[in-house]
């Protein structure tokens, strides 16, 4: 069983490499036929851009792998992605996001890895059934918790960014709001991943949509395309988990 899980992860790494190889080829052709875009889509001179490539590959392999809620090996890709993103944000001087990835997201992913692996062993050794993956949104407590958390984090982030930048509260309010929404949604997504709930994909979709708004506002075409790919993957993963809702599943 363990060998099969690792083979699935390895296959998804190859699929991820193929996706980004195709993307870079398309962007290269675009730059070739549109010289005015040269260096704006493929920024090989920028170390942060280069670091983001393996982060994207690892992240995509992670999402593809845990579409199968039996497979905990995908979290090794998630941990790799988080570490690389922390490096990328450090190069950009965004130290709040560096701390967020190192102090929060990596521990979250490690916890998910250990918990999912433990469940796998219990199912294999004891023949127990796995928990259902119904979203917490289906009960009032879950709704209140998720919405309240998002609102509080978004407001706190807007206030923090406003204070750090020394501008008025209303300046760039949409960008600030989307940034706060990305942070809140990503924290919730990582939290619900530990508990193997569909909420995690709802939150990742919210995160991705908020990011796409930001990169439209900042005219960052390349990152917008990356987020579009991520959105498609997150929606696909959500659909796969929805199919398993209220179904029991066992490891092979």
pLDDT, residue 6, reads 92
User: Residue 249: is its pLDDT beyond 50?
Assistant: no
pLDDT at 139: 65
Instruction: Answer yes or no: is pLDDT of 153 > 80.
Output: yes
pTM: 0.84
Average pLDDT score over residue span 184-198:
90
Residue where the block lists tokens 């708004």: 213
Q: Alpha-carbon distance 191 to 172, whole Å? A: 29
Planar angle of CA 157, 146, 181, nearest 5 degrees: 30
Report whether pLDDT(3) > 80.
Answer: no
Domain ranges of the chain: 1-128, 131-252
At 93 the pLDDT is: 83
CA 5/CA 104 separation, integer angstroms:
26
Q: Over the stretch 97-110, which tens digit does the pLDDT of each residue have? A: 898 899 999 999 99
| pLDDT tier for residue 138 given thresholds of 50, 70 and 90 | low
pLDDT average, residue stretch 228-237: 93
- CA distances 16 to 10, 56, 61, 66, 142, Å, are 10, 8, 6, 14, 33
249 conformational bin, left if phi > 0, alpha if psi -120 to 50, beta if neither: beta
Closest by CA position to 38, among listed 47, 46, 29: 29
User: Which pLDDT band holds residue 220 (cuts at 50, 70, 90)?
Assistant: confident
Could you tell me if 153 and 182 are in contact, meaning their C-beta atoms sit under 8 angstroms apart? Answer: no
**SS3 at position 207:** helix
Q: Reduced to 3 states, what is the DSSP secondary structure of residue 98? A: helix
Read off the tokens for 15: 């699929």
Distance CA 96, CA 55 (A): 18
Taking each helix axis from N to C end, the angle separating 199-217 and 140-165, rounded to the nearest 10 degrees, works out to 30
Q: What is the mean pLDDT of the chain?
A: 86
Q: Per mean pLDDT, which of 27-31, 33-37, 239-243 is the most reliable?
A: 27-31
* Residues constituting the chain: 252
What is the pLDDT at residue 251? 39
Q: Which of 31-35, 91-95, 135-139 has the lowest mean pLDDT?
A: 135-139
């Amino acid at each position: 069983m363990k060998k099969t899980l690792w083979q699935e992860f390895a296959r998804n790494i190859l699929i991820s490499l193929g996706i980004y190889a195709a993307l870079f080829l398309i962007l290269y052709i675009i730059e070739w036929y549109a010289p005015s875009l040269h260096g704006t889509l493929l920024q090989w001179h920028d170390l942060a851009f280069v670091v983001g490539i393996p982060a994207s590959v690892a992240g995509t392999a992670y999402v593809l792998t845990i579409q199968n809620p039996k497979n905990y090996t995908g979290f090794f890709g998630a941990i790799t992605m988080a570490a690389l993103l922390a490096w990328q944000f450090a190069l950009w001087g965004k130290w709040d996001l560096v701390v967020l990835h190192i102090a929060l997201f990596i521990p979250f992913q490690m916890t998910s890895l250990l918990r999912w692996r433990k469940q796998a062993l219990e199912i294999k050794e004891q023949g127990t059934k796995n928990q259902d993956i119904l979203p917490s949104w289906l009960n009032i407590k879950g709704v209140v918790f998720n919405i309240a958390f998002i609102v509080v984090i978004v407001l706190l982030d807007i206030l923090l960014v406003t204070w750090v930048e020394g501008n008025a509260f209303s300046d760039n309010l949409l960008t600030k709001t989307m940034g706060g929404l990305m942070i809140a949604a990503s924290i919730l997504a990582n939290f619900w991943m530990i508990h193997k709930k569909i909420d995690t994909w709802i939150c990742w979709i919210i995160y991705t949509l908020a990011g796409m708004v930001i990169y439209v506002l900042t005219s960052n075409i390349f990152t917008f395309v990356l987020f579009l790919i991520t959105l498609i993957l997150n929606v696909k993963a959500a659909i796969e988990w929805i199919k398993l809702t209220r179904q029991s599943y066992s490891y092979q």
